[in-house]
């Protein structure tokens, strides 16, 4: 009987240890940067943005944070997406062309600010460790460096 308990214990302990290792941590890491950049030339060509004022932007790892301000009632219905044309120029470093598409249907005169974070990982170019992002309406190109 004692051997049976020992065998059960030896089987249960590794199972419990394996159960504590899960992929949820990996999923959380993937979502840290927020939404992915959309790569769609048709959308890029036809996308129209409402007016906004660029407050600032920064890159931290794969995350591009964009802060804007615009008029509205509370900013709750605002939509912000980053769209890539799908075109990669053959330069050193390579370059991509993007649009920040802001949709605002609010008809109030108050001004609000919001930030959105975009995951740039799907813009990486194989064989390179940096790419220049030309975002329409931004004052300068942004260099995205990655491992």
Domain count, the chain: 1
**Domain span holding position 52:** 33-145
Is residue 117 one of the residues assigned to a domain?
A: yes
First-last CA distance in the chain? 56
Q: Residue 111 belongs to a domain with what CATH number?
A: 2.60.40.2370
On whether the pTM is more than 0.85, the answer is: no
Is residue 3 one of the residues assigned to a domain?
A: no
Residue 124: exposed, middle, or buried by beta-carbon count in 10 A (0-12, 13-18, 19+)?
Answer: middle
* C-alpha–C-alpha distance, residues 67 and 38, integer Å: 19
Is residue 14 one of the residues assigned to a domain?
A: no
Is residue 2 one of the residues assigned to a domain?
A: no
Q: pLDDT tens digits, residue range 24-41? A: 444 434 457 899 999 999
Q: pLDDT tens digits, residue range 56-114? A: 999 999 999 999 999 999 999 999 999 999 999 999 999 999 999 999 999 999 999 99
Is residue 116 one of the residues assigned to a domain?
A: yes
């Amino acid at each position: 009987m004692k051997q049976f308990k020992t065998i059960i214990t030896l089987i249960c302990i590794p199972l419990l240890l394996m159960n504590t290792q899960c992929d949820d941590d990996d999923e959380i890491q993937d979502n840290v940067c927020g939404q992915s950049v959309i790569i769609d030339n048709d959308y890029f060509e036809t996308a129209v943005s409402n007016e906004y004022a660029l407050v600032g932007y920064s890159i931290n790892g794969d995350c591009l944070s964009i802060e804007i301000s615009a008029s509205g009632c509370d900013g709750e219905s605002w939509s912000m997406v980053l769209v890539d044309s799908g075109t990669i120029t053959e330069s050193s470093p390579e370059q991509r062309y993007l649009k920040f598409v802001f949709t605002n249907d609010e008809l109030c005169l108050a001004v609000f600010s919001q930030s959105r974070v975009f995951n740039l990982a799907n813009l990486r170019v194989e064989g390179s460790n940096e790419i220049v992002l030309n975002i329409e309406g931004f004052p300068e190109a942004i260099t995205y460096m990655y491992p």
